[in-house]
Amino acid sequence: MIKLFSLKQQKKDDNDNSKDNNSQSSKKSSAAQLRIQKDINELNLPPNCEIEFPDPDDLLNFKIILCPDEGFYCAGQFLFNFKVSQGYPHEPPKVKCETMVYHPNIDLEGNICLNILREDWKPVLTINSLIYGLHYLLLEPNAEDPLNKEAAEELKNNKRLFEQNVYRSMRGGYIGNVYFKRCIK
């Protein structure tokens, strides 16, 4: 019995030493890094979507490019910047739209009104869920929960004018006194 115990203790000591050596040679990954790695490995992107990593060693900061193939924003190219905190998956990533867009749920500073980015976030949601949520927001803008009230009012009251303004903004032009850069691919 004593010999068995000493063998177990020796194996434990050997494992502890090898762990110490490994931790000195490589950084320990945080829970957020491990989860984001899993989310990225399991991504199932729609065909009109790309992911870019400005720094391949930093998986917590990346960009998504969405190019809707239908709806008001068809043929546009929209860039979303994702910043994942160390609190992920218990906290949602911070997502900003870097493409200035005339949209009821995206303001001119790029803030996005999407429930799963705020109050409806749950740790079971993934980056894939967010990408599909953003894609849906471009396909079906929600005038009932606006950040850009002017665009929401137009969508509710005059869909044709809203559509013309979206198209004008995507081609590059002014809506009122705000200039939008061209974002049609």
CB-based burial label for 174 (10 Å; 0-12, 13-18, 19+): exposed
Residues taking part in catalysis: 113
Q: What angle do CA 105, 111, 78 make, to 5 degrees?
A: 75
User: In terms of Cα–Cα distance, which of 165, 48, 178, 46 is closest to 103?
Assistant: 165
Secondary structure class of 152 (helix, strand, coil): helix
List all residues 6 or more positions away from 2 whose beta carbon is below 8 Å from its beta carbon.
none
Secondary structure class of 62 (helix, strand, coil): strand
